[in-house]
Amino acid sequence: MFKKSLLACALLASLTACNQTSQQVNPPQTTQAISDFKTYSAETFFDTTDIQGNAFRPDAKKILVASDESGIFNLYEVDVKTGKRTQITDAADSTYPVGYFPSDPRILFTRDGGGNERFHLFVRDENGNVKDLTPGEKVRAGFVGFSEDNSAFFVLSNKRDERFMDLYRFDASTYESELIYKNDKNLNVQKMSETDRYLALVNAQGNKDSDLFLLDLHNPDAPLVEISNVEHEANFFASAFSKDDKYLYYSTDAHGEFSQSWRYEIATGKHTPYIVKNWDVRFLYFSDSNRYRVVGVNEDSSIKVTITDLKTGKDINLPKLPAGSINSVNFSDDEKLMTFYLNSDTSPNNLYVWQVGSDKVKQLTSTLSEKINTDHLVESTIARFNSFDGLEIPGVLYKPKLASSTNKVPALVFVHGGPGGQSMTGYSALTQHLVNQGYAIFAVNNRGSSGYGKTFFHLDDKRHGEDDLQDIVWSKKYLQQLDWVDADRIGIMGGSYGGYMTAAALAFEPEEFKLGINIFGVTNWVRTLESIPAWWEAYRKSLYDELGDPATDKERLHRISPLFHAKNITKPLMVVQGANDPRVLQVESDELVEAVRSNNVPVKYVLFEDEGHGFSKKENRIEASQAYLDFLKKHL
């Protein structure tokens, strides 16, 4: 396993949804209408198992994963030889793996309370006893990594001050902790070096500008060393340290439209370009010995992974695999085994293990419901159209199997989360369920989406509900030009920022879409920005740069908030909300529903008392997906 782990995306203070990391193995195949086509229920689609995590046990005989096969994410051990899964936790709240201890089978994992995103770090001993290492009602914590000698591990926690994530050292035997970095400068701790000596820290100056610093823990009173070495605005992000602490690898958009990977030599201060592509270098990390390098590039809404053997300087060629994209690459301690997931539009994540350098690769899971014929699922294409001002807008398009010029189908414009998120290729039970039922889906990457360069990303800064909304309207116009889409039956749906865009479309362009499905979307930007979770303090300036400061931009934020224009909504509306959501409070949905119902407009409200910003419990995902379908059948 990797010594200093990436913090789980669920623990990052960001409005942007986490995206899948993958490498395309084989190109997607064109789908064709089939004579024996069959539709499947929401229960069948969510009978599919969602699985994540792939840490090797120190002896490499087991792999630790989280699976929702019981209805909620719990921990399982997967036997490397047989693929047999053994459940080892049975919690009422979703539980996610961190990994094993380096020399024994103790396990670290994280869990929040009903989706409130206050993740705690837990340890499970060899006898199955569980201990919360970071207790406290308002505490949020994240694992960083083990020390070089494995006698300790490091944890970020806001227990001292809810706003700031400090760094603690935990004894690996007694679990006693000590504060080793007090984050009183409101910086974001991004990486710790392999020798436990250096911290890479980021100061978010805004959404266009972040500064990267190096702190020497051996000389904590010495000034921070600034790594961000350009005079103009640019974003910097720490990727990895070399095993000997000679280099810090970082990503930056300082030298072009896309994020590049650069290398900083700590002793000399020399900066060198390391990996430069015509797309964003999304991530870079190394195996424990630094022999293998894993790089992910965000190429046109798909993450392409390259694994390089730095001993030979050549990229690894994997054995023949089914069509799809690999993601979550990990190595055993001796680096003789490699585990990864394979995913495609028509196949959810499946876990594989490979004996490195051989032709022996084994599929350890089969996660798609046995009732589903993959020939009945749909592979996406990347479609593009010119928006109101001529700007080219990309999106991920799903065409139902039976759609044709003689069998026109209704369609949905789907808007991703964020702001600044991105719709990606890959399996989605929700998407495939609706497409299987005959609804086209166009997941649009409107201006302001990530993945298409920094200029494109910043085009919607403080223009939300305006230019980005027009991209969504023009995406509908694009769909109307397709001879297999019913031009008069097009709706809009999305979650978080996408939920906001749904409500905004119905309020500000009330005649464009036939209905809207708002999934925990912002309706009152003033309140949302005033009530952001305390632990997002380090990112407050970035959020305000993109959206506006409620203290100074209140008038504009009021103008673009659908709640204050709900009288304009005349089309059927569905709202779905988690009661424990810390990002978009339940009151956002409550008030919108009440306001639209007063217009005598059909409104369906689905509230989950045990969920937050996203639905982790399988029964709730089934209920939501079936509710979407019922609403669409009735109104579209």
Task: Flag whether 298 is in a domain.
Answer: yes
Residues 354 and 385 in one domain: no
Residues 324 and 458 in one domain: no
Question: Model confidence over 232-291: pLDDT tens digits?
Answer: 999 999 999 999 999 999 999 999 999 999 999 999 999 999 999 999 999 999 999 999
The mean per-residue pLDDT over the stretch 550-576 comes to 97
Task: Flag whether 371 is in a domain.
Answer: no
Domains of the chain: total: 2
Opening angle at CA 363, ends 360 and 367, nearest 5: 170
Residues 268 and 407 in one domain: no
> What is the span of the domain harbouring residue 433?
378-635
Residues 227 and 347 in one domain: yes
Domain end among 363, 395, 423: 363
Residues 336 and 466 in one domain: no
Domain end among 363, 392, 413: 363
Task: Flag whether 527 is in a domain.
Answer: yes
With tokens 């305390």, the residue in question is 534
Distance CA(371)–CA(377), nearest Å, equals 12
Q: What is the largest CA-CA distance in the chain?
A: 73
**Residue 108 φ then ψ, to 5°:** -105, 140
CATH of the domain at 295: 2.130.10.120
Task: Flag whether 162 is in a domain.
Answer: yes
Contacts of 129 (CB under 8 A, 6+ apart): none
User: Does pLDDT of 34 surpass 70?
Assistant: no
User: Does pLDDT of 8 surpass 80?
Assistant: no
Residues 223 and 332 in one domain: yes
Closest residue by Cα to residue 149 from 174, 171, 167: 171
Backbone CA torsion sign across 97, 332, 306, 283: positive
Element (H, E) at 204: strand 198-204
Q: Are strands 409-415 and 440-444 parallel, antiparallel or unpaired?
A: parallel
Task: Flag whether 369 is in a domain.
Answer: no
Residue 505 burial by Cβ neighbours in a 10 Å radius (0-12, 13-18, 19+): buried
- Of 17-21, 210-214, 351-355, 565-569, the one with minimum mean pLDDT is 17-21
Distance CA(101)–CA(198), nearest Å, equals 22
Residues 347 and 466 in one domain: no
User: Does pLDDT of 211 surpass 50?
Assistant: yes
Distance CA(503)–CA(576), nearest Å, equals 12
Residues 332 and 425 in one domain: no
Average pLDDT, the chain: 93
Residue 606 burial by Cβ neighbours in a 10 Å radius (0-12, 13-18, 19+): middle
User: Does pLDDT of 415 surpass 90?
Assistant: yes
User: Does pLDDT of 40 surpass 90?
Assistant: yes
Question: Model confidence over 295-304: pLDDT tens digits?
Answer: 999 999 999 9
The mean per-residue pLDDT over the stretch 124-139 comes to 97
Closest residue by Cα to residue 308 from 317, 299, 300: 317
Token pair for 148: 């070089």
Helix (H, G, I), strand (E, B) or coil at 581: coil
Q: Would you state the pLDDT for residue 572?
A: 98
User: Does pLDDT of 168 surpass 60?
Assistant: yes
Residues 568 and 465 in one domain: yes
Residues 192 and 240 in one domain: yes
Indicate the pTM of the whole model: 0.93
245 in Cβ contact with 194 (< 8 Å): yes
Closest residue by Cα to residue 581 from 517, 527, 523, 532: 532
Task: Flag whether 15 is in a domain.
Answer: no
- In one-letter notation, the amino acid at residue 124 is R
**Residue 471 φ then ψ, to 5°:** -60, -40
Q: Would you state the pLDDT for residue 382?
A: 98
CATH of the domain at 395: 3.40.50.1820
Beta-strand ranges (E) seen in 253-380 are 260-265, 270-275, 280-286, 292-299, 302-309, 314-315, 325-331, 337-344, 347-355, 361-363
User: Does pLDDT of 493 surpass 50?
Assistant: yes
Domain end among 309, 339, 363: 363
Q: Would you state the pLDDT for residue 186?
A: 87
Element (H, E) at 54: strand 51-56
Q: Would you state the pLDDT for residue 391?
A: 98
The mean per-residue pLDDT over the stretch 372-396 comes to 97
91 in Cβ contact with 73 (< 8 Å): no
Residues 297 and 389 in one domain: no
With tokens 């709202």, the residue in question is 575
The mean per-residue pLDDT over the stretch 118-137 comes to 97
Task: Flag whether 368 is in a domain.
Answer: no
Residues 468 and 613 in one domain: yes
The mean per-residue pLDDT over the stretch 449-476 comes to 97
Task: Flag whether 3 is in a domain.
Answer: no
The mean per-residue pLDDT over the stretch 429-449 comes to 98
Distance CA(289)–CA(295), nearest Å, equals 16
Closest residue by Cα to residue 177 from 118, 132, 126: 132
Closest residue by Cα to residue 337 from 47, 63, 522: 63
Q: Would you state the pLDDT for residue 309?
A: 97
* First-residue to last-residue Cα distance in the chain: 49
* Per-residue confidence band for 514, with pLDDT thresholds at 50, 70 and 90: very high
